[in-house]
Chain A
Amino acid sequence: MPTPPPTFRFATHDPRRLLVDWLAAMRCAWYPVELGAALNPSLDPGSLLAAQCRVGTETVLLQHDLENRPDHARVVCVLGPLPGRDPLPMLLSLLQANLLIALRGHGAVLGLEAGADAVCLTDELSLAEGAEAAFRVRLRHLASQAARWRQGQLFPEAWP
């Protein structure tokens, strides 16, 4: 029986593969937060991949959902706790920054993680073909904000 000729197919866009490859190129170690999720994306860790990712000396949380905006990865950088004494000026500064960022049309958000009561900076990074340079710059930038927060360089006027 004759063998059918091989069918030519265009490579399909695989944002999960891009994400993993880009992290590897940046030498960013990552591991899934949920036990049982696969490190190798070809083993299909499921629709949602949540991972801790080491960027330089900082750790950020990465989330990628194949069923919801698969062309974007969500990055959460935990900055740290609010000032213990008189946090009101800092709360206002965070909200003021949110307004400025939104008016400039950007999607980065400063928020408060309810469980840990920690300030977080969250953004969505594009996983489109050709967006690797922007991904690299923005991921490093996001991760670097944690150190700036710890050193009191973010919103210095709001620290008591």
Chain B
Amino acid sequence: MGLVSVPTTHRTPRMTEPRATDLLERLLNALSEELPADRPLAPPRGEGPFLFDVEIASMPVTLRCDPRHSPACLTVACPLGPVPEGDALAEAALRQLLRVSQLTAGSGTVAGYEPGDRRLHLLHVVPLATASARLLLATMTGLAHMARRWRDDHFLGAAPLADGLSASLRA
């Protein structure tokens, strides 16, 4: 696939900078206190990718982080569902998702498609260095509300898109 590659800058962390695994562990510990008590967050083991599934506002949300990547980031993912059936509806819905992605570019939120499970997802990338538990929880909740709205009308309803988006992100 002719993917739009993004040039990366590899650099060695300075001695004073906390390691990505330490940042992640600190963030997850803080997030544990914000989440319901029945969903404790196990700290990541080793340097491998970290995955955690949780339900927010009745929607599944996944946290994913690979501390080996630079810059170290946490990705929040919320499944929207399969591509709508019927070519006309699918095209309209996918176009709308890409318009949403353009509107939210720079905010960290983007819509994506996973060919493995043939599902669409909303994703939000949070740099570990600046992430806080409260912000992360607000992001997870915002994505869950956006995903719920997608399931209602694929963002094709009468409500102005920008208003609906900002309301979802505020929720």
- Majority DSSP secondary structure for residues of B touching A: mixed
Binds A, one of B32-40, B53-61, B88-96, B147-155: B88-96
Which stretch in B22-30, B112-120, B134-142, B163-171 binds the other chain?
A: B112-120
B146 CB-CB contact with A under 8 Å: no
Count: A-B pairs, CB below 8 Å: 130
The residue from A76, A91, A97, A124 contacting B3, defined by CB atoms under 8 A apart: A97
Given known pairs A94-B98, A137-B7, the reply for A105 and B73 (CB within 8 Å) is yes
Contact assessment for B105 and A95 in the assembled complex, using a CB-CB cutoff below 8 Å: no
Contact B4 A121 (CB under 8 A): yes
* Chain A minimum-CB-distance residue to B93: A91
Q: Which residues of B contact A94 (CB under 8 A)?
A: 98
Q: In the complex, A72→B114 CA distance in Å?
A: 29
Question: In the complex, A139 Cα to B123 Cα: how many Å?
Answer: 24
- Interchain CB contact under 8 A, B102 and A99: no
Q: How many residues of A contact B (CB 8 A)?
A: 47
A54 within 8 A of B: no
Interface 1/0 per residue, B58-72 and A, CB below 8 Å: 000000101001011
B110: contacting residue among A72, A87, A98, A114, CB under 8 A: A98
Total residues of chain B contacting the partner, CB 8 A: 44
User: Are A102 and B75 within 8 A (Cβ)?
Assistant: yes
**A109 located at the interface, meaning its Cβ lies under 8 Å from any Cβ of chain B in the complex:** yes
Which residues of chain B from 71 to 86 have a CB within 8 Å of any chain A CB?
71-73, 75, 83
Task: Check if A92 sits within 8 Å of B83, measured CB to CB.
Answer: yes
Residues of A within 8 A of B102 (CB): 109, 111-114, 120, 122
Name 17 extra pairs, CB < 8 A, besides A74-B106, A109-B104: A87-B91, A88-B87, A93-B1, A94-B98, A96-B112, A98-B110, A98-B113, A102-B110, A102-B124, A105-B69, A105-B75, A105-B125, A110-B101, A112-B98, A137-B7, A156-B2, A157-B2
Q: Is the CB of B7 within 8 A of A105?
A: no
Residues of chain A within 8 A of B110, CB atoms compared: 98, 101-102, 109
